[in-house]
Structure 1
Amino acid sequence: MIVKKLSIIIILIFGVSKIHANCTTGVAPQTPIVDSISVDLAGNVTICWQPIADPDLVMYYINYENPLNPGESITLDSVLAGTNCYVIPTGFNNSDIESVEFGVYARDACLLLSPPGDNYTNTIYLSNTFDLCVPSITLNWNSYDDFTSGTNVLYKVYVSENAGPFILIGTSLTTIFTFLSINQGSIYNFFVMAVENGGVGPFTSSSNDITLNTNTFYINPTFNYLYAATVVDSEQINLQFYVDTAADITSYRIKRAVSVSGPYTTVGSVSAYPNMNPLVQFVDESDVDANSTYYFYQVEAINSCGTVKFTSNIGRTIWLKVKSDGIIGTNTLTITQYDGWLGNVQKYEIYRAVAGIWESSAIATIASFSDSTIFIDDISQVLEGNGEFCYKIIATENPVPHVGSLPQATSISNESCAMHEPLIYVPNAFAPMGIYNVAFKPILTYPDPTSYLLQIYNKWGQKIFETKDLNEAWNGRVNNSGKMCQVDSYVYVILFQSASGEEFSKRGVVTLIN
């Protein structure tokens, strides 16, 4: 029995001596080398290190620096030897608001700790800034320089849109990346992965992830339609354009040119306001001369950044020019086309005013044409009035579905006028006793009826007929009621004024025959 107890004591003494073999020399374990530290999508921080080849190793301590007393190390937890990674749960780290720092220390069976060293490792903290005006998202993060391979680090940027899978959208050798491919209303998640050896690996470190809702970005317009450009008068042109009131637009800039290719200059603007009518009216009065040329217009939608977010279609006004030909009694109309409608032009209607009175219906309708066309109006049979003929053109769009269910658009041209001088048609003979041409009556165009005077004289200079009635003819008798005049030549005198007050006269000879 005594021999058995002695054997146990010898074994225990031998065992204890073996366990504490290094204690007498005071050799502490090596400081663990951290391979990487990463943040997962749940916010947990995982730190991994290289195992220490020490037969006396007992455990590893996970430490962090006391924020209230820099330099003081506080133990968060410990793990047994043989463990090479540790997870700090999301509730025990601040990786979502800052870069957090953790270190690993080793302890052996002799209660010796690995020496303090630079083995604290920082997580990558990802943050962002918005640029509402571009729009863009700029990602920023702190550099990761704790790989044992050095600072030759490639950063990979990943994104998930609307809870979809994460995809690689770019890489950077710096700690900044700008994301431009934004879909308004989408929700984006980003994280950054640092890869050592210039992207070769094998070790990596991932940042926290950030979630961004792009509803905070400005809403861009989806349409901006120049509905019609129409001439009001020679100095005014009215524009109608249909806008996207759901967009974040502060103003609409109206631009004008005399050529479709420009240059376009700003002639005015309309401010956007809450609950505005999407069909906006604007009257251009900026040095307009609609009787001399046509104008091209476009409308730019501007956001609060001063950026043009949508430029409308281009619209061109109709320009009408009229030239008179008094010899043959015609007016030649040159008409330019309307440009810019979604449905193009269906027809052009020509309206005419005689002596300032507009006729109730169009005198002609012409089909669509390219660039310009000519229409000739024969006014030789229009004898009354003051000689003034005015015209305007109304273009109508083809039926086509419009944004906002807008009806067919119309556009009115400038009003262009032509003035005809009065003409006098006088027969050179008449036969009172015949079948045809039984009376002598001059035909006048555009006279002032109150100024008319017709006198007939015989060859001795005696006045034998006079009238102030424009419609009264000489029947060949003295004063139209006396004895029939003999066959002979007679002198006529015609006096009258035009509607504008200009005096006209004509003298000549008419022959009475039977």
Structure 2
Amino acid sequence: MYSDTLTTILMEATAINFGITADLAWNPIHVPLLVSSSLNYDLNYINSNNSDNIIANTPDLFYQMDGDNCDYVPKFYVEIPDASGCVSKSSIAMVPLKDTISPVTPIIKDVSVNNLGKAVVSWESSSGADLYIIYLQDANGAWITLDTVSSVLNSYVYQNSFAETTFENFSVKAIDTCGNSRVRSLTHNSILLTNSSNACDYSISLDWNDYINWAGGTHHYNVLISETDANGNVINTIFRLQTATELVIQNISSIATYNIVVEAYNNDSTYKAVSNVLNFNIALANKPLFNYIEYASVNHDDGSVDLSCIVDLSAEIDRYDVYRSLKQDDNFSKIGEVNFSASSPIYFNDKNVLTNDYFYQYEIYPVDTCGQTLYPPPYNLPAYLNDTSFAQTILLQAEINIDYSQVSSLKSEYTNTLVFNEYDKWLGDVSEYRLYRSVNSEPFNLLPIYVWDRVNQPNKELKYIDVVTSFGDGNGRFCYYIEAIEGTATPYGPVLEGSLSNIACISQTPIIFVPNTFTPNGDEHNEVFRPVTYFVSEEGYSFSIYNRAGEKIFETDSPQKGWDGSYKGAQVQNGNYVYHLQFLNDLGNLTEKTDVINLVR
């Protein structure tokens, strides 16, 4: 039968483990515990600061605790409450203890660089630490003590840091108030981000050192780039790199400001180290914002091609390279250069062309002072960013007397048929083509003989049939050219010069009838002997009269002139005379004819 008599509780404390551990034991208040008693004892510890704390709640009658101070005498007791609200308390036991347990070696979380360019060391809190010692490795590899901080802190800002110009190595050691410590932490370094620019390829090269000594290593780097343009618009870009510690940024702008930082991450991204921040804008050569060939036109003086190109004078340019392709072969080759002259537009004359046989395409590209060819749009607006300016000349071709027998209105007519290709490429497109004509080697008429309206009739065939029968009394020489006119829907305004085609000249088939008799008797009928000509050119023309003795008594090189039957101011006798006629046929070959003419008065 159990007694309900309670006994006092005696706490006993003995120092073990070379005096660093308190071995505690106490007797039960009752065997077994009363049903009204708590099942556990509260173990109280009074430390060197006389602070009383419960360090365990246990059903056991023993406990061991390592000392947490240097050469001190802690106190221990237990309490056990019951259901009635009463608390039984043991005696207080004291035991002298020593603290020889070293704090855990700190784990550095990261070394980062703050916005002031100072290195900041952060670490995980170490069990048993009262203080942390911060170390810096100097240029000779020696470790020097920077500072000692309280264990309530787990980061340190190195105020004398030069982390914007060099990377710095740090280590941390934990100690307690008894001087106990273990080895320093693993070395961790700051990340130094540097850059160099290449003005010739408009790039920035970034370079940084490895971040070291995370458990499992550095998993990846993020490069954060913030670009602010001249209008204050911000473009943020992130590059993720697994192992590389360098990056080249292409297509940078000298009118933008860049803010760049590198972040290193450990294996599970729980730790992050941040580099110094680069903030800069780089004085690079300005790229041209536009480049536009405003016309390519055939020069009527020599058949060469004149080019005019509007250029951006704010860009730093060494020269402009001119390229040409035959017709639409898209096989461009460089044909010349125009040096930068700080004037716009620039001009180029291409003499090595056959503009009566072919049309040509041209491209003009600026070349910067680094020798790099640039490809700006024709105008500085987003709508034109994917365009490249080029120009295509006009080839006008002419052919005489094509068989139009199936066209009733053209039967028995002498015709010149004209065809030509489109001009390409104006920003305002072509509004109209104008056809001009010269007859009998006279100057061109100032008014066009025909106009193609490309605004209202954009698909009309670029062909014209010129009926020239009524010009038979002339020399049969016809010349034509086309003038292209730019439309108004262009940011530059229509180019005043337009674009001219080649001058296409043709000669109609010459027709000659020579009578066999003439009567220069003063009756104003048949008074002059001359061949009846139709479309006969003065070029190569010669008409001569000879008497029976073979003496030349008349000669002319004009198809409009004839012999009046006189020689040296006197009328010749009736009779037969010999004429000699030569002229150019429709193939351009010299044709000769000799026969007899009978003069009768």
Common fold by TM > 0.5 = yes
Pairwise CA distance, 1:363: 4.8
Contact kept, 8 Å, 2:293 with 2:309, in 1: the verdict is yes
Residue of structure 2 equivalent to 1:483: none
Pairwise CA distance, 1:117: 3.9
Q: After the TM superposition, which of the residue ranges 367-376 and 252-261 deviates more from structure 2?
A: 367-376
Q: Secondary structure at the match of 1:228?
A: strand
State the AA in 2 paired with 1:284: D
Verify: 1:195 aligned to 2:265, yes or no: yes
Deviations 1:222-280 (A, max 9, x none): 2111111111256521111111121233221111112335111111111224xx21111
Contact kept, 8 Å, 2:580 with 2:593, in 1: the verdict is yes
Contact kept, 8 Å, 2:399 with 2:416, in 1: the verdict is yes
The verdict on how the C-alpha distance between 1:386 and 1:439 changes in structure 2, with shifts beyond 3 A counting, is: closer
The verdict on how the C-alpha distance between 1:381 and 1:323 changes in structure 2, with shifts beyond 3 A counting, is: same
Residue of structure 1 equivalent to 2:146: 76
Contact kept, 8 Å, 2:362 with 2:392, in 1: the verdict is yes
Contact kept, 8 Å, 2:432 with 2:451, in 1: the verdict is yes
Which structure has the higher relative contact order (CA within 8 Å, separation 6+)?
A: 1
Unaligned runs of 5+ residues in structure 2 are: 1-47, 50-66, 75-94, 377-387, 403-411, 519-523, 547-553
* In 2, Cα distance between equivalents of 1:472 and 1:176: 97
Pairwise CA distance, 1:505: 5.7
The verdict on how the C-alpha distance between 1:371 and 1:194 changes in structure 2, with shifts beyond 3 A counting, is: farther
What is the root-mean-square deviation in Å for CA atoms of aligned residues?
A: 4.4
Residue of structure 1 equivalent to 2:13: none
* In 2, Cα distance between equivalents of 1:51 and 1:336: 83
Q: Secondary structure at the match of 2:374?
A: strand
Residue of structure 2 equivalent to 1:107: 175
The structure 2 residue matched to 1:222, chosen from 272, 283, 289, is 289
In the alignment of these two chains, the number of paired residues is 462
Residue of structure 2 equivalent to 1:444: 533
Residue of structure 2 equivalent to 1:462: none
Question: How do 1:174-189 and structure 2 match up within 5 A?
Answer: 174=243, 175-180=245-250, 182-189=252-259
* In 2, Cα distance between equivalents of 1:278 and 1:166: 33
Pairwise CA distance, 1:144: 1.0
Q: Secondary structure at the match of 1:350?
A: strand
Verify: 1:400 aligned to 2:454, yes or no: no
* In 2, Cα distance between equivalents of 1:289 and 1:296: 13
State the AA in 1 paired with 2:272: T
Q: Secondary structure at the match of 2:314?
A: coil
Question: How do 1:77-96 and structure 2 match up within 5 A?
Answer: 77-89=147-159, 92-96=160-164
Residue of structure 2 equivalent to 1:251: 319
Deviations 1:93-149 (A, max 9, x none): 01111111222223332345x3454533210111123233443323221111222x2
Pairwise CA distance, 1:169: 0.9
Contact kept, 8 Å, 2:227 with 2:236, in 1: the verdict is no
Between the two proteins, what is the percent identity of the paired residues? 26
Contact kept, 8 Å, 1:384 with 1:447, in 2: the verdict is no
Q: Secondary structure at the match of 1:150?
A: coil
Question: How do 1:367-406 and structure 2 match up within 5 A?
Answer: 367=452, 368=454, 373-403=462-492, 405=493
The verdict on how the C-alpha distance between 1:281 and 1:44 changes in structure 2, with shifts beyond 3 A counting, is: same
Residue of structure 2 equivalent to 1:338: 423
* In 1, Cα distance between equivalents of 2:189 and 2:390: 58
Q: After the TM superposition, which of the residue ranges 231-240 and 160-169 deviates more from structure 2?
A: 160-169
Question: How do 1:342-357 and structure 2 match up within 5 A?
Answer: 342-357=427-442
Contact kept, 8 Å, 1:103 with 1:121, in 2: the verdict is yes
Pairwise CA distance, 1:426: 7.2
Q: Secondary structure at the match of 2:222?
A: strand
Structure showing greater radius of gyration is 2
Question: How do 1:75-474 and structure 2 match up within 5 A?
Answer: 75-89=145-159, 92-112=160-180, 114-117=181-184, 119-147=186-214, 149-162=215-228, 167=236, 169-174=238-243, 175-180=245-250, 182-197=252-267, 200-214=268-282, 216-232=283-299, 235-273=303-341, 276-286=342-352, 288-310=353-375, 312-325=388-401, 328-367=413-452, 368=454, 373-403=462-492, 405=493, 407-420=495-508, 422-424=510-512, 443-445=532-534, 446=536, 470=561
* In 2, Cα distance between equivalents of 1:70 and 1:179: 34
Higher helix proportion: 1
